[in-house]
Amino acid sequence: MGRLISIVSGKGGTGKTTTTANLAIALGKLGKNVCAIDADLTMANLSLVMGVDAAEITLHDVLAGEFPLEEAIYVVPQYENVYMIPAAVDWQHVIKADPRNLPKLIKPLKNHFDFILIDCPAGLQMDAMSAMLSSEEVILITNPEISCLTDSMKVGFVLKKAGLNVLGFVLNRYGRSKNDIPPDIAEEVMEVPLLTVIPEDPAIREATLEGVPVVAYKPKSKGAKAFMELAEKIVSMGNENR
């Protein structure tokens, strides 16, 4: 059985989409079959970050009941073992898609992939909740600032209560400011394990602009190495649970 993992945060702009894209490619490199889903239905950009062209049939069309999910699953030919379900970016699609259908559509994918990574909207609104509750495991993404940490902690708390397995948090963009909250303090605040520290790395932003996630764009960069480490950790955590 595959693992359904949502990538979540309290605030927007913390690095959820960047993490989803890099983790998908990194897990693919480790020989796992991965499906990355753009479930940020109003601010979709996973396709852009992964360098995938606009798709004819998207998750929005499936949520509107117009197409079966299989028709919205695309191979990402640039990367080994990576598939994705893209979302639409225009408002006409957004208004016809019902986010409440996400869990029943996404959960059966665990029969077809080793990993299903769900790029979620930020916060705890209905669209975010529906996306997050489509998963069984959770990775919280936060930046080393207090309001960002506490917002992600709130989301983690709610998801734990909902019965999901919160694997821990990623401290992303560490080293941008001298006032950054250090990893050990962040871990105390979050009350869940620190999975990986991803440094602030200009290569990551550059990679986003190129539409080639950093693990493929500059595999030797600090950022890429940190994402590979995260992938290995996630794989090993699955083995412990078996």
Report the interface residues with ligand ADP, using CB under 6 A.
9, 12-18, 172-173, 198, 200-201, 204-205, 208, 223
The nearer residue to ligand ADP, 219 or 238, going by C-beta atoms, is 219
Q: From ligand ADP, Mg ion, none, which one binds at residue 38 (CB under 5 to 8 Å depending on kind)?
A: none
Q: Report which of 53, 57, 42 is spatially closest to residue 127, judged by C-alpha positions.
A: 42
The nearer residue to Mg ion, 34 or 120, going by C-beta atoms, is 120
Q: From ligand ADP, Mg ion, none, which one binds at residue 15 (CB under 5 to 8 Å depending on kind)?
A: ligand ADP
Structural tokens at position 11: 């605030």
Site string (201-220) toward Mg ion, x via CB under 5 A: --------------------
The nearer residue to ligand ADP, 82 or 148, going by C-beta atoms, is 148
Binding span for Mg ion by CB under 5 A among 13-21, 92-100, 201-209, 218-226: 13-21
How far is it, in rounded angstroms, from Cα 200 to Cα 14?
A: 11
Strand 115-119 to strand 34-38: parallel, antiparallel, or no bridges (unpaired)? Answer: parallel
The nearer residue to Mg ion, 45 or 150, going by C-beta atoms, is 45
The nearer residue to Mg ion, 47 or 196, going by C-beta atoms, is 47
Q: Reduce the DSSP state of residue 174 to 3 states and report it.
A: strand
The one among 17, 58, 172, 221 contacting Mg ion by CB under 5 A: 17
Report the residue number whose CB is nearest to Mg ion.
17
Task: Name the helix (H) or strand (E) containing 117.
Answer: strand 115-119
Indicate the Cα dihedral angle 150, 168, 4, 67, nearest 10°.
30
143 binds Mg ion (CB under 5 A): no
Binding span for Mg ion by CB under 5 A among 15-23, 148-156, 179-187, 212-220: 15-23
Q: In sequence order, which residues have a C-beta less than 8 Å from that of residue 190 and are 6 or more positions away?
A: 140, 142, 149, 152, 153, 156, 169
The nearer residue to ligand ADP, 31 or 209, going by C-beta atoms, is 209
**Which ranges of the chain does DSSP label H, i.e. alpha helix?**
16-29, 46-50, 59-63, 91-96, 102-106, 126-132, 146-161, 183-190, 202-210, 214-217, 222-240
Q: From ligand ADP, Mg ion, none, which one binds at residue 201 (CB under 5 to 8 Å depending on kind)?
A: ligand ADP
Q: From Mg ion, ligand ADP, none, which one binds at residue 152 (CB under 5 to 8 Å depending on kind)?
A: none
Q: Report which of 183, 210, 208, 234 is spatially closest to residue 21, judged by C-alpha positions.
A: 208
